[in-house]
Structure formats: structure tokens, C-alpha cells
Amino acid sequence: MSGDTALVLGGGGLTGIGWECGILYGLARAGVDLTTADLVVGTSAGSVVGAQLTSGRLSPQELYERQLGDASGEAVAKLGAGVIARYALAMARSRRDAAAYRRRVGAMALVADTGPEAERRKVLAARLVSHEWPERRLVVTAVDALSGELEAFDRESGSGLVDAVAASCAVPGVWPPVTVGARRFIDGGVRSAANADLAAGHARVVIIAPIALGSGLVPAPAAQAARLREAGAKVLLITPSATARKAFGRNLLDPGRRDPAARAGLAQAAEHAADAAAVWSDGKA
């Protein structure tokens, strides 16, 4: 095995950010400190959480507390029915070719009227407490809008952290693709809600995935977790409870739902504390 512990933080909008922070704080209160991970993989919402968690500037409690309170001053976005329909059409036309699906979604994103890229980058820059890559290994996922290929940004990739996180959070049809170098990127969740396969080679893996579902062309976190187990890793997959899903509401991009989602994550964490300790410790699961 090439590493010991890996923490995978999946995508799921602003409610996903809140819920993940609640889970992380709840587990920390129960004695399971996931900030010690040798590798953190962040996709979309998870890239925001991962960047802040590995910055060394916020404890799990502080990260959680940042999700609470009035969010009325923040812009509300929405993944509308028209955009969802274009995703479905791209999937139907791609048949069994996952890369073709990602290219079609990328093409849609490149022509969508989603506002200035620079303005969106400012939003993500303000959301992060540090704009420097951390010492601890952080991998941020995005998808090349033209080729459909996965890009795993890290401190060795030559890109800035803000650019990488902005690219990972560029929901097609909602936010503009992000330019990094000579290429443009869209949300890493287009490939997978968690991209947990990037934790391959690590002995102990915890996956926190706000979006549990997948499709034939977008593997579900559970499928990726199963493959990691087959390779010999101890793996815990945490997905939202029914109570948490209710707290999310119908719009994952609504900042007003981040607070209740965070509180739901904190409450749910108790259900997973023993399993998380068994995976994260050196003992047997």
C-alpha cells in the first residue's frame, strides 16, 4: 500500500459543505480526528472543505461553526430543470461511454450563459481561509471541459489552489468553466460524486459523500468503496441519513440550507463514530 489513511470528501453543493463539516466535527468530538489523513481527496463541495481542513488554520469545530448563522446576504443558485434535462440528454446520447458523456456536458457548459468567470473565482477565493497548497497532501478533482478527462490537481500540478477549487466547483450550466493554464475545467462531480478511486493504495479510507447516487456513467460512492475494499483497504462510507436529506431541502445550492445541513451532520456523526474509529485506528475493524 502506498499510504496509510485517506479522507475522501464528495460533492454536494452548499448543503454538502455544511453536512460534511458537521460530520467531521461530530467525529472529532467522539475522538476520531480525520484531519490526520495522509491524503485528502476533495470533489466540488469536498474541495472547499478539504482545502480548509488541511490549511491548519481551522479546527473541525471552527470549520463547523463557520457554516452556522444567517446566510441571507449570499447569492442563491439553482440547478434548474432545463440544465438537468441537458445532463440527461447527454447521458442518453453517450450510451455506455463515460468520457463521451463528460465531453458533452463540458460542451454544454462552455456555451452556457453563467456569468463572468472572474466573479465566480472571487467567491471561491473568499470562501477559503488560505490560498496556498497545504503541506498535507490534498488532491482536488476537476474535469477537462473539452476532453472529458479527470484532472487531479495537487501542489505539484503547477496550478494555484484557488483555481483548482474553483474548477472543482464549476457546476456545468450553473457556474462558468474555470480556466487553468490553457485549459478550461468543470466540476469534478461530473466524473464521480466522490472520486474515491483516487484513494487507491491507502490502507484505511473514510469517504464522506453528500451525494450517494450514481449512474451507469457516473459511479456511485458505494461502488468505488466496494472496489477499495476488494483491493484490501478498510473503508467506511458515510452518506446522508433521511433526516440529513430533509435538512438539505430541494436545492443543494441554497446557502440558507447550509446551517441546518451542518447541524444534521453533527447529529448524524454519532451513528458512525464507532465504525470510523475502527477504520481509522490501527486495530482491526
Active site residues: 44, 187
| Four-residue CA torsion sign, 206, 188, 268, 65 | positive
Cell 433526516 sits on residue: 243
Q: How far is CA 274 from the centre of its chain?
A: 24
In terms of DSSP bridges, do strands 150-153 and 137-144 run parallel, antiparallel, or are they unpaired? antiparallel
Cell 468543470 sits on residue: 186
Distance between the two ends of the chain, CA-based, in angstroms? 17
Grid cell of 243 as nine digits: 433526516
Three-state secondary structure call for residue 13:
helix
To which H or E segment does residue 178 belong? strand 178-180
Q: What are the counts of helices (DSSP H) followed by strands (DSSP E) for the chain?
A: 10, 8
- CA 275 – CA 117 distance, rounded (Å): 41
